Amino acid sequence: LYLPKGFSIELKYPAIIVVHPGGGVKEQAAGRYAQRMASEGFVSIAFDASHQGESEGEPRRLDSPYNRVEDVKCAVDFLTTLPYIDRGRIGAMGICAGGGYAINAALTEKRIKAVAGISPVDAGLSTRQGWTGGNTLESQLKMMEQIAEARTAEANGETPKLVNYVPETVTEGLHPDFVEAHDYYRTSRGGHPNSDNLCLFRGFADRLAFNSFDLIPDYLTQPLLVVVGSEAGSRWMGERAVELSTHEKELFVVKGATHISLYDVEMDKVVGKLVEFFTANLKIDRYE
């Protein structure tokens, strides 16, 4: 939990929930964004997803989108217990898959008054269709068979099957987003001991059946901001979220930015836009 400079328990503050990427932890991009938003006058919270990092939950390393969305709603619950939070001025934002989860949570969590996605990814769509949208139905069905085999093996005493979020090594022909993801997560640039780059393979069954964005046209009534890099392979997913929205929305494209550069390198540009968006949509007078 990050508090603004000059914080007073006697005042009421707007709050921002910051949701980390798949495989991330609160000490990485989410925590850095939460710190920056606190410096702009918002009470901000970044947390580890259930089953990951310092949060509880068994089995460890399970990454289920349904749990991730519920985590966001529980963060809203927590904020409402704090006497210095204005319950009518709570916003949510997330990075990568966290952006998709924040947007999905806002579909049915109307205590979230405005929502933003930074390089947002629909975890279900990306699992089914791949990072750039080229996967076939045949490959999806094959993954289901592999998950079934892994669950049977685990049920019969074998070690649970774990897979990497990002490549542990950079190989020829690897998509530039994943080259940079390796650089962020597996080096000193953004790596953290609690982010071990491993998830339970069987968790992908939930992701195959999940849709972050499909109900946006009907259910997303809150203002939406999507920030994408012009060079990001994931850009199409963020654009899809904006296209689906039938209410107040904005797509902010950072020229020359990649998917990962919005995590750190381009943070100043993104924070400026976030402050503008949440200030307007949480009805904050910056001059008070």
pLDDT single digits (tens) 91-106: 999 999 999 999 999 9
The residue among 179, 180, 16, 37 whose CA lies nearest residue 98 is: 16
pLDDT bucket at 288, cuts 50 / 70 / 90? very low
> What is the DSSP code string of 243-280?
HH--SSEEEEEETT--TGGGGTTTHHHHHHHHHHHHHH
DSSP state of 167: -
Burial class (CB in 10 A: 0-12, 13-18, 19+), 115: buried
Q: Is the pLDDT of residue 287 over 90?
A: no
Output the CA–CA distances (angstroms, integers) from residue 213 to 1, 45, 51, 116, 123, in the order listed. Answer: 28, 24, 24, 13, 10
Q: Tell me what the pLDDT averaged over the chain comes to.
A: 96
Q: How many CB atoms lie within 10 A of CB 60?
A: 14
User: Which residue type is seen at 234?
Assistant: S
Q: Is the pLDDT of residue 217 over 80?
A: yes
pLDDT bucket at 286, cuts 50 / 70 / 90? low
Residues 118-124, mean pLDDT to the nearest whole number: 98
Helix (H, G, I), strand (E, B) or coil at 161: coil
Q: What percent of the chain has pLDDT over 70?
A: 99
Q: Which residues share a beta bridge with 116?
A: 93, 225
Residues 197-202, mean pLDDT to the nearest whole number: 97
Q: What are phi and psi of 129, to 5 degrees?
A: -100, -10
Q: What are phi and psi of 19, to 5 degrees?
A: -105, 125
Pairwise CA distance, residues 282 & 265, whole Å: 27
User: Which residue type is seen at 112?
Assistant: I
- Number of helices (H), then strands (E), in the chain: 10, 8
Q: Are 229 and 261 in contact (CB under 8 A)?
A: yes
Residues 143-163, mean pLDDT to the nearest whole number: 98
Pairwise CA distance, residues 198 & 161, whole Å: 10
Residues 229-254, mean pLDDT to the nearest whole number: 98
pLDDT, one tens digit per residue, over 66-82 is 999 999 999 999 999 99
pLDDT at 283: 82
Q: Is the pLDDT of residue 126 over 60?
A: yes
